[in-house]
Amino acid sequence: MFQINQHYLQLGESYLFSTIAGKVEHFRAAHPDADIIRLGIGDVTMPLTPAVISALHGAVDEMGVKESFRGYGPEQGYAFLREAIAETDFQKRGIGISPGEIFVSDGSKSDTGNIGDILGEGNLVAITDPVYPVYLDTTLMRIGKSDRIRLLRCSEENGFLPELPEERVDMVYLCYPNNPTGTVMTREELTKWVDWALENESLILFDAAYEAFIRDEAIPRSIFEIEGARRCAIEFRSFSKSAGFTGLRCSYTVVPRELKAITAGGGEVSLHHLWNRRQSTKFNGTPYIIQRAAEAVYTPQGQQEMQEMIDSYMQNAMVIRKGLMANGYTVFGGEHSPYIWLKCPDGLDSWRFFDRLLEECHIVGTPGSGFGEAGEGYFRLTAFNSAERTAEAIGRIARRSSTR
Amino acid sequence: MFQINQHYLQLGESYLFSTIAGKVEHFRAAHPDADIIRLGIGDVTMPLTPAVISALHGAVDEMGVKESFRGYGPEQGYAFLREAIAETDFQKRGIGISPGEIFVSDGSKSDTGNIGDILGEGNLVAITDPVYPVYLDTTLMRIGKSDRIRLLRCSEENGFLPELPEERVDMVYLCYPNNPTGTVMTREELTKWVDWALENESLILFDAAYEAFIRDEAIPRSIFEIEGARRCAIEFRSFSKSAGFTGLRCSYTVVPRELKAITAGGGEVSLHHLWNRRQSTKFNGTPYIIQRAAEAVYTPQGQQEMQEMIDSYMQNAMVIRKGLMANGYTVFGGEHSPYIWLKCPDGLDSWRFFDRLLEECHIVGTPGSGFGEAGEGYFRLTAFNSAERTAEAIGRIARRSSTR
């Protein structure tokens, strides 16, 4: 009989957020009148901004007229968007990334998963713990449970920043500002990793999906701000959280041309070339109208609207952070990130605290243990709900705390 | 040093259509005044229809308002679209496919490539020759050049329909109406394959991207019209050619719940479960506005507009087919397919004929050899240009033929 990829059988039965959705449905069925506030999944709630909506309408109109209709576009993305990205996100910040190094895609989830296609199965892979589940699950899908996966433990002791691996590893997934812990890497910290990668000829897969939430200019928003990163890193960026594109689907991946690997035959091969081959063979580009929407984010109006949206979410993050601290919680993140990582009170484990928060306060969060063993005993809240609902949620927690 | 996927090094340097684009650019630079007619790449030229445009505008407006804004949707697609698909494309035709068996995606190119993720590397894979390059290239990316790939030769002698493999193979890619040859499989022919798959416990990956172009009700539009196919087949469908969505990006894949495989441990596993895990881990769904556009294709107005568009392209196919035959060409396909497959005249090979057609008639087509060795000596033309340009192209060929 035909065979399946056996590695899939080693995966957990269901993706974290599906499990949470099931629990919430169960609770809702039992308590139909409960006013549930969702601070769980990292989904935005504010609508697309006027600049984006206007660009979408304009592009839709173009698609309805023969003269301006667009069929297949370049698999790598349209030049108008790649140029806008390169200019605003990199060149204006003094980072030398060219449009040709940018691959527009339909989401960082796709790209951080699919990047494995071009990498060898023999690599020793380091992944932080706790971690965004996609890195680990897609690695498991590709190479199976094996001694080639190393978990880099992040804990209160190391400020939720991984230490350099003691042994040689071939590639590492880093995500900063971090999901789920909300922590950031300073320039010094990130430089340490780039230097390590160059010395060890290792590859850094850098997920910068939350860079727009950084409030301090001294903290790097791109790994390519660090000297030498062009020779050891791939960076993933997304419009999902910064511009509210979770339902619109647009992201991009930067593969610098200097990034090379050595083939089994001893030759040099560019990862830019491999990723281009992967994308042009297995992907047909992001929809034209979506790329026009992303382009609109880079107009002066689009930039201002995006900033206001981010400011508003970061105001929520502050409300959560301060509210929790005022009620005796130990809290991390939330300063340069929409994620607040808290230590579960009363020695509760993550799922017990999930249940308590849902039952007592009707608030949905995400259990830290869902992000890995090292997340056990912690819990993630997100700043993506409205100001009113966020304040209401923190009010409920405060009232519960005061009656304990 | 970190390792890459060495299989990529065995791939041809560039994807077929990139090579063609390069040649056309070169010709255009040398002949800036030439009026080039493109009958090469299978891209549509008619704009999106009014029903689709109206649905897009409506959905865009929803995304600009907090109350109707949609963030992350279900990775498998929204229920409204899966239900419309199941009802119109299957149930109304007496085919028992349920909404839950339908996975909405961003393109058949993605899905026919990504489906390999859930399949074992040890499978013996059969692929027709000539073939849509994606099946072969993505198989090579996954398992490398190996004795586990069998090419099923399609030629004039067998009417460009593959014969059943003489030895056991584990899975086969079939595409009917066929790209590139434009041929179709009758019910008897397709039944033969389903029976073979059931007897051999093999998997059929059935690409039905062109089913909407079938003009004869007796020819199956879905493999699931065949008894037993729910236990041996996955079907890929696309809105690209039928509704002009090549720039909008929407497709779907049908994985019946009865489709099972045996694990190494002897247990049973459902491919529906595996594909669901793959999609929910490595994909974040098709944009909401695009799914609303696809839904509009299933309204009475949308269905009528789609049919008019298809009729118009099929009128082109007839013009090409008859025009070529009248000028002494041997022609296949084009009756239930937008593709016309012709035998290169004067014993020319495919690329020589490409050059001649470009130089003498300023027409771009696709060399048959680009689809595999068995395509050598043949050439593909597509019916997707306008009626005027198609007629002009055939007129140029006729004038050239008469002066030879």
pLDDT given at position A340:
98
User: How are the residues of chain A apportioned to helix, strand and coil, as percentages rounded to the nearest 5?
Assistant: 45, 15, 40
Q: Is A168 on the interface with B (CB under 8 A)?
A: no
Lowest mean pLDDT among A215-219, A261-265, B251-255, B284-288: A261-265
Closest CA to A234 of A247, A219, A246, A251: A251
- 201-240 of B, contacting A, C-beta below 8 A: 201-203
> What confidence tens digit (pLDDT) does each residue in A386-403 have?
999 999 999 999 998 877
Which of B4, B45, B285 lies at the smallest CB-CB distance from A269? B4
Q: Is B168 on the interface with A (CB under 8 A)?
A: no
pLDDT given at position A12:
77
Average pLDDT, chain A: 96
Which residues on chain A are in Cβ contact (under 8 Å) with B107?
283-284
- pLDDT-derived band at A161 (thresholds 50, 70, 90) equals very high
Which of B5, B43, B261 lies at the smallest CB-CB distance from A1? B261
Q: Does A64 sit within 8 Å of B170, measured CB to CB?
A: no
Lowest mean pLDDT among A268-277, B231-240, B260-269: B260-269
Q: Does A281 sit within 8 Å of B249, measured CB to CB?
A: no
Kindly tell me if the per-residue pLDDT of B187 is higher than 70: yes
Q: Is B120 on the interface with A (CB under 8 A)?
A: yes
Length of chain B: 404
Torsion sign across C-alpha atoms A150, A154, A160, A166: negative
Domains and CATH numbers, chain A: 6-46+303-402 (3.90.1150.10), 50-300 (3.40.640.10)
Kindly tell me if the per-residue pLDDT of B113 is higher than 90: yes
Beta strands B363-364 and B37-38 are parallel
SS3 call for A23: helix
Kindly tell me if the per-residue pLDDT of A404 is higher than 70: no
Which of B6, B73, B133 lies at the smallest CB-CB distance from A247? B73
Which residues on chain B are in Cβ contact (under 8 Å) with A25?
none
Q: Residue B286 corresponds to which tokens in the numbers above?
A: 């098709």
> What confidence tens digit (pLDDT) does each residue in A54-108 have?
999 999 999 999 999 999 999 999 999 999 999 999 999 999 999 999 999 999 9
Q: What is the mean pLDDT of residues B302-317?
A: 98
Smallest CA–CA distance, residue B63 to chain A, in Å, is: 6
pLDDT given at position A281:
93
- pLDDT-derived band at A18 (thresholds 50, 70, 90) equals confident
- 325-364 of A, contacting B, C-beta below 8 A: none
Minimal-distance CA residue of chain B relative to A44: B71
- pLDDT-derived band at A42 (thresholds 50, 70, 90) equals confident
Kindly tell me if the per-residue pLDDT of B33 is higher than 70: yes
Q: Is A11 on the interface with B (CB under 8 A)?
A: yes
- 19-58 of A, contacting B, C-beta below 8 A: 41, 43-50, 52-53, 56-57
Q: Is B4 on the interface with A (CB under 8 A)?
A: yes
> What confidence tens digit (pLDDT) does each residue in B49-59 have?
999 999 999 99
SS3 call for A378: strand
Task: Write the DSSP assignment of B355-385 as a string of letters.
Answer: HHIIIII-EE-EEGGGG-GGGTTEEEEES-S
Q: Is A138 on the interface with B (CB under 8 A)?
A: yes
For residue A339, what are the β-bridge partners?
A382
Which residues on chain B are in Cβ contact (under 8 Å) with A3?
119-120, 122-123, 170, 261, 264
Give yes or no for a contact between B382 and B39, defined as CB atoms under 8 angstroms apart. yes
Which of A264, A271, A282 lies at the smallest CB-CB distance from B114? A282
SS3 call for A103: strand
Average pLDDT, chain B: 96
Query: CB under 8 Å to B307, separation ≥6 — which residues?
Result: none
Q: What is the mean pLDDT of residues B32-46?
A: 93
Which residues on chain B are in Cβ contact (under 8 Å) with A18?
280
Residue A251 CA to residue A256 CA, distance in Å, equals: 16
Residue B338 CA to residue B348 CA, distance in Å, equals: 24
Query: CB under 8 Å to A275, separation ≥6 — which residues?
Result: A103, A115, A118, A234, A253, A255
> What confidence tens digit (pLDDT) does each residue in B264-288 have?
889 999 999 999 999 999 999 999 9
Kindly tell me if the per-residue pLDDT of A264 is higher than 90: no
Q: Does B278 sit within 8 Å of A3, measured CB to CB?
A: no
Phi/psi region, residue A43 (left: phi>0; alpha: psi -120 to 50; beta: rest), is beta
Where b means 16+ CB within 10 Å and e means fewer, A189-228 reads bbbbbbebbbebebbbbbbbbbbbbbeeeebbbbbbbbeb
- pLDDT-derived band at A14 (thresholds 50, 70, 90) equals low
Kindly tell me if the per-residue pLDDT of B252 is higher than 80: yes
pLDDT given at position B14:
63
- 247-276 of B, contacting A, C-beta below 8 A: 247-249, 261-265, 269, 271, 274
Q: Does A9 sit within 8 Å of B269, measured CB to CB?
A: yes
Kindly tell me if the per-residue pLDDT of B403 is higher than 90: no
